[in-house]
Structure formats: structure tokens, C-alpha cells
Amino acid sequence: MIFFICCIIIFSILLSIISIFALYKKISLDHYYRIALKSFVQKQHKIGGDRYFCSYAILETIKILRKKREKDALINLAFARVDKAMKILKNLNRNDLRISVAAHFDFEEALIEFEMLIKKQPQNMFILGEMAELYYMTSQYSLLNMVLSKIDEKKSLSYTNAKKAYFTIFLNMRDGDFLPASMDGNNVIKVFNKNKAYVEEAKTYLLMGIIYKASTIFDTAQFMFTTALEAFKRLNDKIGMIETYGNLAMLMSVQERYEETEAYLNKAEELSDNNKAKAYILNQKGLTNFLQNKNEEALNLLKEAAKVNSENNNMGGLAFSNEIIAYILYEQNDFIGAIDHSAGAEKIYKELSNFSAMLETKYIQALSLYELDKLDASEKIAREIIDTAKKETTSFHLANTYNLLGVIYIAKKDLPRARTLIKESLRLEQKNERIEGIATDYFNLGLIESKIGERKDALLSMENALEFASKFGETKLSKIIKDKIKTLT
């Protein structure tokens, strides 16, 4: 009996020792990993530029270095000094991990290496997943689509499947298809969290916030942004924090909560210690001032942002600066200036394969030409927009262009054709549930019907226009519609 009790005690002690040792190994692994995550994001912030991240590669490399007892390389990796770890990975023929680790600080060279490696390992789903991110970063969206289609989810790591889903969500958002994008996000977040991919998890919350903001579901967007912000704070990830503060600021702006907008932008500015980040904040401040009709302040900020972006070869930021400047000049009736700046932005967006933004800038040109009474030139660009949108997948709202074409034909006194174009615009607006656009199209239809003597139809269109316009409260458009209804009754 005593022997049996002693055996139980000894077994319990051994079990406790094993458990403590296992816990120590886990704590030690997590300790190195969390230090490495923070070190990598901080080093990336100092370097500036675009940011690639692969938590899986960092964690797997730490596991390998611990198993091989490469303590010096492990400590260096924990502080984002990767040379020793990369040599060991190369000797172990783990070039997939080696290239991924290197990509954190030189993604363009890493993409070249991955493209060579995938030829030797065409069934390596991890490589395809990382190539997807690098194609995304270099705006090569056709290649991004191609590698995503090659990822076999049954043969992939759950991490790679989550990354595939993340970029599929991005592509859906880019195409203006917000419903599937919003539905898939929560599952991606769960998988990244399970894989301890905390940077990717935070980035997914941020992306979901952008989607909900674009869908005008503002309370959910704010929840996503604040959750992303807390995650980035835990990682001391300044890049993520700056971008999230910027998006929170824009979310407040579209709700006309300008004091909160300014507060968020000030927080972002406090963190901005490289030129790209500073230019980003200048752009956001410029946009915010424009939304508040502070056009001169906006122009000064955007011109400064354009200068910084140009000096640092940040072409996407430069295009955005010029695009918003074009909108301001259009508002100020400087239509020639609007055409010049939007054409400059268009050229850059085309080079970056950002077709949605490119079409927006072409639309500004078409609007400006219409205001200059150059109707044929305006129509030509409008039809170019429609042709491009049919060839390229974009989130640009074609309804705007059909509406403009309708207005052009009203000016040309071809009312039947104008009516057909406005009805097509209305169909697209209803499909996308864009309330303000629906109101505008019904109003334009009412104007056309009034001009051709269809008073009853005109009144019905105007009443429909007022119904949708009133969803935003008492606005300039709703007042105009009410005045028009009075003349029809």
C-alpha cells in the first residue's frame, strides 16, 4: 500500500515537472516570438515604404533555431537582425522561409526570388500565398488573381488559406462587391488569431473597417477600426496605428464629426516620424478640410503632401494629392486646372493598375469639359470610362457616367436619348442601393419628363426623388426638389 502511494506521488511529481518544462518551452517560444513581432514592425516603420508581413515565417524560423540550439541567431532574429537566421535556413534548404523573412525588409528582391523558387516547387502553397501578398503590394492584380486561383485549400496551411481569403476580400472590395467581402472577414480573423498571426489579424480588422465604411455601416466600421487600433497598439505597430487613426478620421469626416476627425489626425501625426507617414497625414488633413469646404487650407496641405510624395517617389500618395486638388479646383470653377491635375493623377493610377481611381480621375475630366461646354470632348471621355470599366474589374460606379451622359444629351436637346441614359444610371444606382444617386436620377428624369410635357410622370419622378433625398434630412437637393414639385402641382 505504501509502495503504491509512493508510486502515485512520484508519478505526480514527474508529471508536474514535465508540465512545467512544457510550459517553460511554450513561454520561452512565445516570449521570443512576441519580441520578434514588435521588432519587425518597428524596423519596418523606420525603413518606411510599403509593408509585407508573414507571422508564420517568423514563428517557424524561431522554432527551427530553438530546435537547432542556434541561440545567437535566435536572439538576433528576435531583434529583427535576420542575416544569421537566413544563412541557417539556406543551409537547411528552407528557402521558402528564408525568402519570406527577407521580404519584410526588401519585398521587391524577395518577389524575384519567389518567382524563381516556385518553378522548382510548383506545389508549394505557402510560396503561392506569399507571392499573392507581394503581387498585391506591387499592384499586379492580374498576377494576384492568378496565384490565388492556384492555391489548393485542401493542400494548404490554414495560415495560407486565411491569406488567400484576405486578398480575395480585398479584390471583392476593389470590385465594389461589398457583401461577400464583409461575410468572409470574421472567419479570416479567427484563423489568423489561431495561428498567432497578430499583425495579419489586425490588418484584417482594418480592412473590414474600410469595407463597412464604404458600405456606410458606420457603427460596425468604427468597431472594426477601434479593434484594429488596440491590436496595433499591443504590437507597438506605428504603421498600423497611423493608418487606422487616418481611417477613423475619415469615418468621422463623412459623419461631419469634425472635432473627432481632428483629434484622430493629430494622434496619427504624433506617430509620424518618416516622410511617407507625414505625407499620408497631410493628404488626410487636406481631404478633411475639403469636406468642410475649407478649400484654401485644403489646397495648401495637399500641395505640401504632393511635394513630399514626389520627393520620396511615393507615386500612389502623389496621385491621391493631385486627385483631391482636382476636385477642389473643380469646385472653384477652375476647370482647366482640374483637368490638368486629374490627368496627372490618371497617368499614375494607370501605371499602378489602380483602375478604379483612374476612372475617378477621368470622370473629373469629363465633368470639367462639360462645364467648359465642350460637350463632345466630355462625351468622348465618358464613353472611354464605360469601355474601360467593361474590360477591367473596378469599383467605379458607372451610374455616375451614365448620369453625366444623360445631362450632356439634355444640353444637346436630345431628350429621348438623355432619358434612356438617366434610366440606365437609375438602374445601376438601385442595384447598388446608392440612395443619393437614386434621388439625383429621379430628379433628372423628372426634369426631362417635364420638358417633354409628361407632367404626370414628371411629378411621380420628383416625388420619388424627394422620398430618397429626404433620407438625409433637409438638404440642398431636397429643397430644390420641393420647389420643383410646387411648379408641377
pLDDT tens digits for 351-377? 887 888 899 999 999 999 999 999 999
pLDDT band at 274 (very low <50, low <70, confident <90, very high): confident
% residues pLDDT > 70 (the chain): 91
Q: Tell me: pLDDT of 335 over 90.
A: yes
Are 168 and 187 spatial neighbours (Cβ–Cβ below 8 Å)? no
State residue 23's pLDDT score: 36
> pLDDT digits over 225-237, tens only?
999 999 999 999 9
pLDDT band at 254 (very low <50, low <70, confident <90, very high): confident
In degrees, rounded to 5, the angle at the alpha carbon of residue 344 between the alpha carbons of residues 429 and 207 is 50
Are 277 and 242 spatial neighbours (Cβ–Cβ below 8 Å)? yes
> pLDDT digits over 92-138, tens only?
999 999 999 999 999 999 999 999 999 999 999 999 999 999 999 88
State residue 312's pLDDT score: 84
State residue 2's pLDDT score: 61
Q: Tell me: pLDDT of 485 over 50.
A: yes
| Gap between the Cα atoms of 15 and 21, Å rounded | 10
State residue 21's pLDDT score: 41
Mean pLDDT for all residues in the chain: 88
| Gap between the Cα atoms of 183 and 257, Å rounded | 28
For the chain, what is the HEC assignment? CHHHHHHHHHHHHHHHHHHHHHHHHHHHHHHHHHHHHHHHHHHHHHHCCCCCCCHHHHHHHHHHHHHCCCHHHHHHHHCCCCHHHHHHHHHCCCHHHHHHHHHCCCHHHHHHHHHHHHHHCCCCHHHHHHHHHHHHHCCCHHHHHHHHHHCCCCCCCHHHHHHHHHHHHHHHHHCCCHHHHHHHHHHHHHHHHHCCCHHHHHHHHHHHHHHHHHCCCHHHHHHHHHHHHHHHHHCCCHHHHHHHHHHHHHHHHHCCCHHHHHHHHHHHHHHCCCHHHHHHHHHHHHHHHHHCCCHHHHHHHHHHHHHHHHHCCCHHHHHHHHHHHHHHHHHCCCHHHHHHHHHHHHHHHHHCCCHHHHHHHHHHHHHHHHHCCCHHHHHHHHHHHHHHHHHCCCCCCHHHHHHHHHHHHHHCCCHHHHHHHHHHHHHHHHHHCCHHHHHHHHHHHHHHHHHCCCHHHHHHHHHHHHHHHHHHCCCHHHHHHHHHHHHHC
pLDDT band at 18 (very low <50, low <70, confident <90, very high): very low
Q: Measuring CA to CA, which residue among 195, 157, 170 is closest to residue 55?
A: 195
Q: Tell me: pLDDT of 334 over 80.
A: yes
Q: Tell me: pLDDT of 411 over 70.
A: yes
State residue 173's pLDDT score: 82
State residue 30's pLDDT score: 87
Rounded mean pLDDT, 345-350: 93
Rounded mean pLDDT, 388-400: 75
- Grid coordinates of 154: 485542401
Residue type, 76: N
> pLDDT digits over 68-91, tens only?
999 999 999 999 999 999 999 999
State residue 4's pLDDT score: 54
State residue 210's pLDDT score: 92
Q: What is the pTM of this model?
A: 0.80
Q: Which helix (H) or strand (E) holds 132?
A: helix 125-137
> pLDDT digits over 278-299, tens only?
888 899 999 999 988 899 999 9
Rounded mean pLDDT, 141-159: 94
State residue 353's pLDDT score: 78
Furthest C-alpha separation in the chain? 108
Higher local confidence (pLDDT), 55 or 1: 55
Q: Measuring CA to CA, which residue among 177, 181, 237 is closest to residue 207?
A: 181
- Grid coordinates of 21: 518544462
CB proximity list for 463: less than 8 A, separation 6 or greater: 485
Q: Tell me: pLDDT of 14 over 90.
A: no
What are all long-range contacts of 215-220, with beta carbons under 8 Å and residues at least 24 apart? 215/178, 215/182, 216/254, 218/251, 218/254, 218/255
Are 461 and 440 spatial neighbours (Cβ–Cβ below 8 Å)? no
Q: Tell me: pLDDT of 350 over 70.
A: yes
| Gap between the Cα atoms of 205 and 378, Å rounded | 40
> pLDDT digits over 295-322, tens only?
999 999 999 999 999 988 888 899 999 9
State residue 48's pLDDT score: 67
